C-alpha cells in the first residue's frame, strides 16, 4: 500500500512542469563539467573535476563565481564552452526547447508551455504563446547583438580586431546574461578607464536584469514607433514592468549612494571616479558580478550594502537570481498596507492577489532559511582557516544564491565541502526556492482541518 503511494507520488512529481527546468539545468551542468575536464579545454593540470563542475554550475546558473582563472587556466576552446553554457543557461533550457518546437511549427503541449511560461510569460499559455516566445527571443538577441557590436567598436584601436571581436562577444553575452565571467585576467579592473566600454557593459547588465517580459514590452513599442502605429500613444506599460523599472532604479541609485557614504577602496581618488565605481558596482551587485574595484578592501558597511543588493537580485523572467525586485516591492507594499490598516495589499493603484503576496513572503522566508544553513555549513568547513572571516563566508553564500559572482577573493581557497555548498546554492538560486517547494508540495489540498491554536509572538 505504501509502495503504491510512493510510486503514485513519484509519478506526479515527474509529470510536474517544474521537473523540466530542474533536470534540464542539472544535465547541462553535468555535460558542461565533463567537457571542461577534457585536456584541450584547459592548461595542463590547471583544472580538477571539482573545479570543472564548479565552473560549469557557475556558467549554467549565470553566476560568475570561479575557483580558477577563466582567462589563464582555460584555453580558447574551454572559454568557448563556458560561453555556450552561459548563453544556454541565461535564457533557460525550457525556453530554448519551446522556441525550437515553435520554429519547427510543432504544437506545444500544455506541460511544455507551462514549463516555459512560468519563468518567461508569467502563466500565459494561450494561442499567442509561440508568437510571443519568438518576439521575446528576438528582443533578447537583438539587445545582445547590439551590445556586442557596441563593445567591439569601443575596443577597436586598443587591441587587434580578432581579439576585440572575441572580447566583445564574450563580455557582451556574459553581461546580458548577467554571468559576470571575463576572459581578462583581472576581471574588468584593467579596462575601467575605457568609459564607453564600461557604459555598454552596465547597460547590458541592466537590460538582462530587467527580465525578458519587460524587454518584450519595450521591443513592441520600438516596432510600433518604427511603423508609426497609434496604439503606442494610448497603451501604458504593464504593472509588472512599472514595478520592475521603479524598484530597479531605486536599488541602483540607493546602492550607489550608500556605497559613496560608507566608502570605497583607497584606490578610488577622484570624485568622478568614485561615483562611476559606486554606480557600476551597484548595478553589477544585483545581477552580474563584474567588478572594477578590489572588493576585499571595501569597508564592512559597503560589503553589507552589496550583500543586500545581491540578496534582492534582478527581476522575474531575467537571467538574474535572488528573491527578485518584485518580491521586495510586494513585501514592502504588504507592510505599508498593514500599517495603514488596509485589508488588501495595493501597489501603484492595483490590488494584489493574495497568492502573489503569500508567495512573496514565502520566497523571502525560504531564501533566508537556505542562506542561514549555507553560511552555517561554510563556517563549519572553513573553521579556523586563516584569512577567511565570517563576513567573507556570508558574502560568498549570498553571491552564489543571487547568482551574482562577486567575491572578496576567497573562492579559490575554499575547501571541497564549501565548494559543494556553493554549487548547490547556485543551482537553487538560479531555479528559485519556490520551484523546489512547488515540486515537493502536495498537488491536492489537505482534507484534514486541525483545531485552532494560539501562540504568543513578538
Count up the domains in the chain and report the number. Answer: 1
Residue 77 lies in a domain: no
**Residue 42 bridge partners (DSSP):** 74
Q: What is the rounded end-to-end Cα distance, in angstroms, of the chain?
A: 44
Alpha carbons 303 and 430: distance in angstroms, whole number: 22
User: Which of 23, 77, 24 lies closest to 47 in space, CA to CA?
Assistant: 77
Residue 198 lies in a domain: yes
pLDDT at 25: 84
Cα–Cα distances (Å) from 322 to 186, 262, 414, in that order, read: 25, 24, 23
Alpha carbons 420 and 405: distance in angstroms, whole number: 15
Alpha carbons 218 and 431: distance in angstroms, whole number: 25
Residue 226 lies in a domain: yes
Helix, strand, or coil (residue 356): helix
pLDDT at 97: 47
Cell numbers standing for residue 412: 579559490
Q: Classify burial at 341, counting beta carbons within 10 Å of its beta carbon; exposed 0-12, middle 13-18, buried 19 or more.
A: exposed
User: Which of 129, 127, 103, 128 lies closest to 118 in space, CA to CA?
Assistant: 129
**Residue 351 bridge partners (DSSP):** 346
Q: What is the pTM of this model?
A: 0.85
Please name the residues in contact with 394: beta carbons below 8 A apart, sequence gap of 6 or more.
307, 375
Residue 12 lies in a domain: no
Residue 59 lies in a domain: no
Judged by phi (left if over 0) then psi (alpha if -120 to 50, else beta), residue 406 lies in beta
Yes or no: say if 437 and 13 are a contact pair by the CB < 8 Å rule: no
Q: What is the pLDDT of residues 48-107, one digit of tens each?
A: 899 999 999 999 988 888 898 888 899 999 999 999 999 888 876 545 444 444 444 445
Helix, strand, or coil (residue 159): strand
Please name the residues in contact with 135: beta carbons below 8 A apart, sequence gap of 6 or more.
216, 219, 220
Alpha carbons 181 and 178: distance in angstroms, whole number: 9
User: Which of 209, 378, 203, 398 lies closest to 295 in space, CA to CA?
Assistant: 398
Residue 365 lies in a domain: yes
Alpha carbons 120 and 318: distance in angstroms, whole number: 8
pLDDT at 96: 47
β-strand pairing of 350-351 with 346-347:
antiparallel
Yes or no: say if 377 and 421 are a contact pair by the CB < 8 Å rule: yes
pLDDT at 24: 80
Yes or no: say if 351 and 337 are a contact pair by the CB < 8 Å rule: no
Alpha carbons 439 and 218: distance in angstroms, whole number: 33
Cα–Cα distances (Å) from 159 to 25, 153, 162, 195, in that order, read: 36, 11, 8, 16
Measured CA angle at 454 (ends 448, 458), to 5 deg: 130
Domain that holds residue 240: 125-439
Judged by phi (left if over 0) then psi (alpha if -120 to 50, else beta), residue 431 lies in alpha
Residue 287 lies in a domain: yes
pLDDT at 110: 44
Yes or no: say if 175 and 290 are a contact pair by the CB < 8 Å rule: yes
Cell numbers standing for residue 314: 534582478
Cα dihedral across residues 74, 288, 172, 165: positive or negative: negative
Residue 107 lies in a domain: no
Yes or no: say if 405 and 288 are a contact pair by the CB < 8 Å rule: yes
The stretches in the chain having pLDDT less than 50 are: 1, 13, 94, 96-106, 108-118, 120-126
Alpha carbons 402 and 251: distance in angstroms, whole number: 15
Element (H, E) at 70: helix 70-73
Amino acid at each position: 500500500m505504501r509502495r503504491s503511494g510512493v510510486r503514485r507520488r513519484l509519478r506526479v512529481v515527474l509529470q510536474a512542469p517544474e521537473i523540466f527546468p530542474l533536470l534540464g539545468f542539472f544535465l547541462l551542468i553535468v555535460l558542461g563539467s565533463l567537457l571542461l575536464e577534457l585536456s584541450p579545454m584547459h592548461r595542463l593540470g590547471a583544472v580538477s573535476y571539482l573545479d570543472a563542475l564548479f565552473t560549469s554550475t557557475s556558467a549554467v546558473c549565470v553566476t560568475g563565481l570561479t575557483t580558477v582563472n577563466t582567462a589563464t587556466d582555460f584555453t580558447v576552446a574551454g572559454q568557448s564552452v563556458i560561453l555556450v553554457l552561459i548563453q544556454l543557461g541565461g535564457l533557460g533550457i525550457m525556453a530554448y526547447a519551446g522556441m525550437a518546437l515553435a520554429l519547427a511549427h510543432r504544437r506545444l503541449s500544455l506541460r511544455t508551455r507551462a514549463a516555459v511560461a512560468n519563468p518567461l510569460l508569467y502563466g500565459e499559455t494561450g494561442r499567442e504563446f509561440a508568437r510571443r516566445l519568438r518576439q521575446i527571443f528576438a528582443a533578447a538577441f537583438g539587445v545582445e547583438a547590439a551590445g556586442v557590436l557596441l563593445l567591439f567598436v569601443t575596443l577597436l584601436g586598443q587591441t587587434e580586431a580578432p581579439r576585440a571581436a572575441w572580447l566583445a562577444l564574450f563580455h557582451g553575452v556574459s553581461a546580458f546574461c548577467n554571468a559576470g565571467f571575463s576572459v581578462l585576467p583581472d576581471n574588468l579592473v584593467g579596462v575601467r578607464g575605457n568609459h564607453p566600454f564600461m557604459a555598454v557593459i552596465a547597460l547590458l547588465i541592466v537590460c538582462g536584469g530587467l527580465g525578458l517580459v519587460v524587454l518584450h514590452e519595450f521591443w513592441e513599442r520600438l516596432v510600433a514607433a518604427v511603423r508609426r502605429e497609434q496604439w503606442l500613444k494610448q497603451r501604458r506599460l504593464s504593472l509588472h514592468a512599472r514595478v520592475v523599472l521603479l524598484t530597479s532604479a531605486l536599488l541602483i541609485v540607493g546602492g550607489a549612494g550608500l556605497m559613496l557614504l560608507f566608502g570605497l577602496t583607497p584606490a578610488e581618488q577622484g570624485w568622478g571616479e568614485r561615483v562611476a565605481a559606486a554606480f557600476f558596482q551597484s548595478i553589477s551587485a544585483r545581477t552580474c558580478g563584474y567588478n572594477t574595484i578590489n572588493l576585499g578592501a571595501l569597508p564592512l558597511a559597503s560589503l553589507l550594502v552589496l550583500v543586500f543588493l545581491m540578496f534582492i537580485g534582478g527581476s522575474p523572467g531575467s537571467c538574474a537570481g535572488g528573491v527578485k525586485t518584485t518580491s521586495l516591492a510586494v513585501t514592502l507594499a504588504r507592510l505599508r498596507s498593514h500599517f495603514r490598516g488596509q485589508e488588501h495589499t495595493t501597489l501603484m493603484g492595483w490590488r494584489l492577489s493574495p497568492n502573489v503576496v503569500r508567495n512573496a513572503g514565502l520566497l523571502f522566508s525560504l531564501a533566508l532559511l537556505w542562506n542561514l544553513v549555507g553560511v552555517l555549513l561554510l563556517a563549519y568547513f572553513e573553521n579556523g582557516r586563516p584569512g577567511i572571516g565570517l563576513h567573507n563566508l556570508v558574502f560568498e553564500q549570498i553571491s552564489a544564491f543571487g547568482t551574482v559572482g562577486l567575491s572578496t577573493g576567497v573562492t579559490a581557497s575554499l575547501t571541497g565541502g564549501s565548494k559543494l555548498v556553493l554549487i548547490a546554492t547556485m543551482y537553487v538560486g538560479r531555479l528559485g526556492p519556490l520551484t523546489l517547494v512547488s515540486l515537493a508540495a502536495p498537488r491536492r489540498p489537505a482534507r484534514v482541518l486541525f483545531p485552532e491554536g494560539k501562540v504568543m509572538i513578538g
